[in-house]
Homo-oligomer: A and B are copies of this chain.
């Protein structure tokens, strides 16, 4: 029976990963450490499993006498407005977080890390294979995220090379879906939040920049398959994403149509916004041939819209009942 630690487990990807982990019967204890900087307690409130425990703490400072068989490191903001406003904290979460988590891993245990397609920066090669060295400006305003993901990969791969550490590293591409923060700041959640509150949809730049939108269920399915695999000769890292490339404008237009023709407005691009991003899935297909992204962006965006609507209804109902209680009616 295994003890498992998920850093960042109250976050968007982390909470979905916890749901998968709790389906496993070989786990006796699952601890989530999260400081709720970008994670939300609401993402794990549905978990009623006695094996599950939540610890509110920065991962760098986690106090525990436990050692873990599996450690999952997802403690990091992932959206540009969030990491650009607190870059030092972002680097600390990723990198000093990784040092702390290495101390908490049992000898022979497995260290799984969610890196990012951001390690490719603004790529000159498309699609991007894992061997592509990337084009990141290490002095630029997106660098805290990109470089701390790169440096944490380096730390772990070098521990693999010199110490034989069991390391699994994934590079997800533009994941979206339920449990994204409404104020996350990335395209799909922006469009959906705007649409549901009756505001026009904001497209930054001309909208022709493309992304490979990965619906969260598909991506987490890829993570789980790779993270829990024992018999692969592939040392990693592994791209996990949808290789269908869709422009930001197309997604906006789709949301607009779904919601009866909401207008789209254009604003200037944020700095260093990559013009394209698309995973080369050759290695993913080799390592886990039975896996693929099966949910189209139309289906995924619809589901995300439904989830956001439901959340807003719940929030509204809560506010109303609070109001009723206050006024004594």
- Is A265 interfacial (CB 8 A cutoff)? no
User: Complex formed: what's the CA distance from A236 to B140 in Å?
Assistant: 11
**Distance A147 CA – B98 CA, assembled complex (angstroms):** 15
**Nearest residue in B to A159 (C-beta to C-beta)?**
B88
Q: In the docked arrangement, what's the CA distance between A198 and B263, Å?
A: 80
| Docked pose: A315 CA to B236 CA in angstroms | 48
Question: In the complex, A151→B147 CA distance in Å?
Answer: 5
State A295–B236 Cα separation when bound (angstroms).
Answer: 45
Q: Contacts A99-B96, A133-B121, A137-B133: A154 and B158 contacting too (C-beta < 8 A)?
A: no
Does chain B have a CB within 8 A of A202? no
Does chain B have a CB within 8 A of A135?
yes
**A157 contacts the other chain (Cβ, under 8 Å)?**
yes
- Our pick among B85, B91, B130, B133 for the contact of A155 (Cβ within 8 Å) is B91
CA A157 – CA B143 in complex, angstroms? 9
Could you tell me if A87 and B143 are in contact, using CB atoms closer than 8 angstroms?
no
CA–CA, A139 and B102, complex, Å: 18
In the complex, the answer to whether B157 meets A139 with C-beta atoms within 8 Å is: yes
**Most B CB atoms within 10 A — which of A121, A136, A143, A147?**
A147
Question: Is B95 within 8 A of A237, CB to CB?
Answer: no
Identify A144's interface contact among B121, B155, B237, CB under 8 A. B155
* A179 at the binding interface (Cβ < 8 Å): no
Closest to A157 in B: B139
**What CA separation (Å) do A85 and B159 show in the bound complex?**
10
Q: 0/1 per residue, A107-133, Cβ < 8 Å to B?
A: 000000000000101000000001101
Of all chain B residues, which has the CB nearest A236?
B139
Chain B residues with CB below 8 A from A87, complex form: 154-155, 158-159, 161-162
Please name all residues of chain B whose beta carbon is closer than 8 Å to the beta carbon of A278 when the two chains form the complex.
Answer: none
Q: Which of A150, A154, A155, A161 has the most CB of B within 10 A?
A: A154
